[in-house]
A and B are shown apart, each in its own frame.
Chain A
Amino acid sequence: MENLKINTIVDMAQGRLTPEESLQILEGIDRDEATSADLELVVDIINLASESGGNVFRAGERTGLSWWRRLALWLSRIFENDRVLHPVGVVSVVLVVLAMILGANALWTGPYEELTGIDGTAFEWNARGPGEMDIAIAYQLFTKGEYDESVLHLDRFLRSHPNGELVEYMHYSAGVVYLLSARRTIFTLFPSYSRLKVTAGLQHLECAIARTSNPRLAEESRYLRAKGFLMLGQKEAAIAELDSVRTVDGIRAQEASQTIARIQAIGP
């Protein structure tokens, strides 16, 4: 059906053409079923507009559907009972859902997420002395990523040897394991941190700082405490720890400065 014809049918049905023009068009309609069907539709709309046009075409009311309502309507029709799922529709729905999930993930993720990473492979501990079995088992479990079981053995060691030679190192190790095990995700999205584990980790690291005379151990412990505070979103406490690390001017000094700068760049 050419565009011109249906417009002409509309004009004819509205009485805008001369009788001679209308007669010509009717001759054509007589011969063509498709055109006849077009006239039927036009008649329907004319009748509707005439009888209840005020309701259908009500002036002053929001007319037509906004884009998001049309999208919702279209999405709802994809799963009508009497229709096979249209592949394009399904793909579109999947893409929209995926985009919504990724958007929600971006909103969910805390502002300091990028600064909280701890490289678990950088840690290793060798211990000789009383309780070395617990330490060895804890380390083995740690290397396998079984953090919760690893920390159980460390805790057992610390309970059994509260004043032993290795206690500051084990407090430090327990702090590391607790912080590493605190992170949770849902299929790698929506990261969050167990407040319980982060707090436990911070306490162990504080014990390590308090007991040690090793400046290097203290520096590392403070650096990790800063990461723990960032996991909890406590920016000021993290900056305080990093400032201490910077002051010591050890191996982590430059990194601490950079981290402070990045935290401050993120803003309040």
Chain B
Amino acid sequence: MSDTVAEKDPSTDLVWSALWKTAYQRYFRLWMNLARSAEISDDDAKDVVQNVVAGIIAEPSRHFESLEHARNYVAKSVLNRVKAHKARGSRRCAWEDDVERRFAVNQADYEGDDRVRRDALRRAIRRLPRRDFNILKMRFYSGFTLAQTGQLLSMPISTVASREAVILRKIRMKLRKNGF
């Protein structure tokens, strides 16, 4: 990931890359969910994520091969941090306010391909057969586990699991057909 398009914030020395904005916007929830898996508060989880991101941005020499590479690196950093964070408690950096201000996730910020992909994904989900739609809704919107979903839909866990895999595969194929 090369930082060819960047802007320097005069209030800090941090150089904000357009690509990092994309990464933060795209993976913020993933990193937040991972942070929360350590059973810390939402505020603490947000602190950890923003601390990690700000720390990476502060190292302009750091390069990533791809967006996915950055995703995984930050994810692992977040997970390692939350394990330590639980022990030492919250310690907010000045950078973190900046990160929060600059990278506030906003649906309206989605542009171009991201927006088109998002619309294609929305259509693919809405066109699922009812049973598949309900499984996806319970897993991703309501946040139920496989067991809870199976119980609510009166289906064995194995059926929910296999069905979920098929649904995601179908959605991926539909997105590919649309060029994503």
Using a CB–CB cutoff of 8 Å, the interface residues on chain A facing chain B are: 1, 3-4, 6-7, 10-19, 22-23, 26, 29-30, 36-53, 55-57, 63-66, 70, 73
B30→A22 contact, CB < 8 A: no
Give the residue name and chain of the A residue nearest to B133 (CB).
A64
27 contacts between A and B (CB under 8 A): A3-B164, A4-B161, A6-B165, A6-B168, A13-B30, A13-B33, A15-B34, A15-B35, A15-B37, A16-B37, A19-B79, A19-B80, A23-B76, A23-B80, A26-B75, A36-B72, A38-B168, A41-B172, A45-B136, A45-B140, A48-B122, A55-B122, A57-B136, A64-B128, A64-B132, A64-B133, A65-B128
Report A264 CB to chain B, min CB distance, Å: 48
Whether A41 lies near B129 (C-beta < 8 A) is: no
B56 in contact (CB, < 8 A): no
Given A15-B37, A46-B29, A48-B125, are A53 and B68 neighbors across the interface (CB < 8 Å)?
no
Question: How far, in whole Å, are A56 and B82 apart by their CA atoms in the complex?
Answer: 32
Residues of A within 8 A of B37 (CB): 15-19, 22
The interface bits of chain B over 137-180 (1 if a CB of A lies within 8 angstroms of the residue's CB, else 0) are 10111010110000000000000011011001101100100000
Binding site for A on B (CB under 8 A): 26-27, 29-30, 32-38, 68, 71-72, 75-76, 79-80, 82-83, 107, 117-118, 121-122, 125-134, 136-137, 139-141, 143, 145-146, 161-162, 164-165, 168-169, 171-172, 175
Contact partner of A7 among B107, B121, B165, CB < 8 A?
B165
Nearest first, the 6 A-B pairs at minimum CB distance are A15-B33, A64-B130, A64-B133, A15-B37, A57-B141, A3-B165
- Determine if A14 and B83 form an interchain contact, defined as CB atoms under 8 angstroms apart: no
Distance from A166 Cβ to chain B, minimum over Cβ atoms (Å): 73
